Structure 1
Amino acid sequence: MLILLPPSETKSEGGDGALDPASLSFPSLRGRRRAAAAALRRVPLQDAPALLKLGRTNAHEAAWNRVLTSGPTRPAIERYTGVLYDGLDAASLDDGGRAWIERHVVIASALFGLLGAGDRIPRYRLSGSTALPGLSLKAHWRDAVADALAGTGEWVLDARSAAYAALGAAPVGSALLHVETAEGRALNHFNKHAKGALTRRLAETRAEVGSRDDLLAWAASAGVPLEPRGPADVVLRVEQAPLRR
């Protein structure tokens, strides 16, 4: 099983050691990573805040893209912050839970295409919906990401947002994760937190999952309100408050 998460626009500070492109998971994406980084660096610094949709309080984040190969790195699962990653709280997992995360979690990225949870990356600023001059992120990543995911041979639970799902389809037979209230209403803020909390529960229990049926059986045994939807997808039912661990 792979659980495919979206990234976060917010990034943690700090780290050590520079980016080593050869160390990243999914080596088939290396050339496209270089091309995406080059397109990002070509954006004049004075134009970058508007292109990247940054405000006055975070306009400085555009400068991160100038030091991609020299800035300090941290594991991707620690670099990304925000609601989903608060729900996952990888830093507080025990060694076995952390090992599960590093084996089973893949993070989508507009800059890197796909990342393993343990891949060490610098801070950067680029969202899946950004229109880079001279490079369509959707066209750039779509086939390469889809091929890389299919090449793993793993069943995929796709928890990405729409902008990142557009950068490469999950393999046929994968399940899309929906999050709704018991009444069937879609959520926003709590949607993200619930996806992170579900990932944490999977890691805490060292879940062995290879299909949707396996996932639903695990959920029933773990007391997780997960239901089938249609022929392939699943829906997580939550209250309008973060899942409690």
Structure 2
Amino acid sequence: MLVLLPPSEGKANAVEGAPLELGSLSLPGLTAAREAVLGELVELCSGDPDKAREVLGLSEGLRGEVAKNAGLRTAGARPAGEIYTGVLYDALGLATLDAGARRRAADSLLVFSGLWGAVRVTDRIPSYRCSMGVKLPDLGALAGHWRTPMAEVLPAAAGEGLVLDLRSSAYATAWKPKGEAAGRTATVRVLHAPTRKVVSHFNKATKGRIVRGLLTSGAAPENPAELVEALRELGYTVEAEAPGKAGRAWALDVLVDEIH
């Protein structure tokens, strides 16, 4: 099982630790594309801070993120699972998993990123600010920048098993499983059952709890149908729609009564 996660806007400060070693990150086929984004981002943020804020879509209150980006090559790095914070990652609680669940997390979780493309939770990265929606002056829209290298690298990472796609739409545009792999992919919406509406905070927290439940239970669904059964065994109410055409993903709705 490969679980595709969005990053978080909020990130811990990696004030301690050795600096980033770009070549040590997982998915080495993305190294050249990572270097291109990193180089332009550092250059941008080392120049006019107001221009950098505009390009990155940052408010005046986030001016400090520009300086953080300027120092990415020398900043301390920590495992990505410690860098990403926010609602989904709080609910996932990587730090409190037992040893077996942590091994499964290291093998199965892949976090998408405007800067790194995609990283494992064990990859050591510095704290940064650069969403997939950014359009850099030279490289252009990051989703477009990542599309070709992702298409070359990600199919092998996905292997022959289930792909559980929990990404937001901005990150999903960088890579989507194609052909036969799409039929092994399941996307998930979390709906407030009484209203059947998506509530952002609630949606993220529930997705974090879903991943944690799969990791701690040791469930190993090999396809979307087995995933539906695994989620029901974990106590979730799931409505599943199998694809009507080849090359389409399964669509799962997880219905939850309480917003918390």
Q: How does the TM-score come out when normalised to structure 1?
A: 0.93
Q: Where in structure 2 are the equivalents of 1:231-242 lying within 5 Å? A: 231=243, 232-242=250-260
Task: Provide the rounded CA distance (Å) in 1 between the counterparts of 2:254 and 2:26.
Answer: 29
Runs of 5+ unmatched residues, structure 1: none
**Does the residue aligned with 1:169 lie in a helix, a strand or coil?**
coil
**Does the residue aligned with 2:112 lie in a helix, a strand or coil?**
strand
Task: Provide the rounded CA distance (Å) in 2 between the counterparts of 1:93 and 1:45.
Answer: 43
Superposed CA deviations along residues 106-139 of structure 1, whole A, max 9, x for unmatched, are 0000011110111110011101111111212122
Which residue of 2 is the match for residue 4 of structure 1? 4
RMSD: 1.5
C-alpha displacement at 1:52, in angstroms?
A: 1.5
- Structure having the higher helix fraction is 2
2:33 paired with 1:38:
no
Task: Provide the rounded CA distance (Å) in 2 between the counterparts of 1:226 and 1:149.
Answer: 28
Which residue of 2 is the match for residue 163 of structure 1? 170
Contact 1:49 1:55 in 2 (8 A): yes
Matched to 1:239, the amino acid is D
C-alpha displacement at 1:229, in angstroms?
A: 2.4
Among candidates 223, 231, 240, match of residue 211 of structure 1: 223
Which residue of 1 is the match for residue 65 of structure 2? 61
- Give runs of ≥4 in structure 1 deviating > 3 Å: none
Task: Provide the rounded CA distance (Å) in 2 between the counterparts of 1:143 and 1:228.
Answer: 31
2:95 paired with 1:91:
yes
Identity %: 36
How many residue pairs get matched? 242
Which residue of 2 is the match for residue 228 of structure 1? 240
**Does the residue aligned with 1:179 lie in a helix, a strand or coil?**
strand
Task: Provide the rounded CA distance (Å) in 1 between the counterparts of 2:10 and 2:67.
Answer: 14
Q: Taking structure 1 as reference, are residues 87 and 213 closer, same or farther at Cα in structure 2, changes over 3 Å only? A: same
Contact 2:76 2:126 in 1 (8 A): yes
Which residue of 2 is the match for residue 21 of structure 1? 22
Which residue of 1 is the match for residue 137 of structure 2? 133
**Does the residue aligned with 2:36 lie in a helix, a strand or coil?**
helix
Superposed CA deviations along residues 15-55 of structure 1, whole A, max 9, x for unmatched, are 41111112211111000000111121231342212222222
Task: Provide the rounded CA distance (Å) in 2 between the counterparts of 1:103 and 1:45.
Answer: 40
Which residue of 1 is the match for residue 79 of structure 2? 75
C-alpha displacement at 1:221, in angstroms?
A: 2.0
Runs of 5+ unmatched residues, structure 2: 244-249
**Does the residue aligned with 1:10 lie in a helix, a strand or coil?**
coil
Contact 1:107 1:117 in 2 (8 A): yes
Matched to 2:182, the amino acid is V
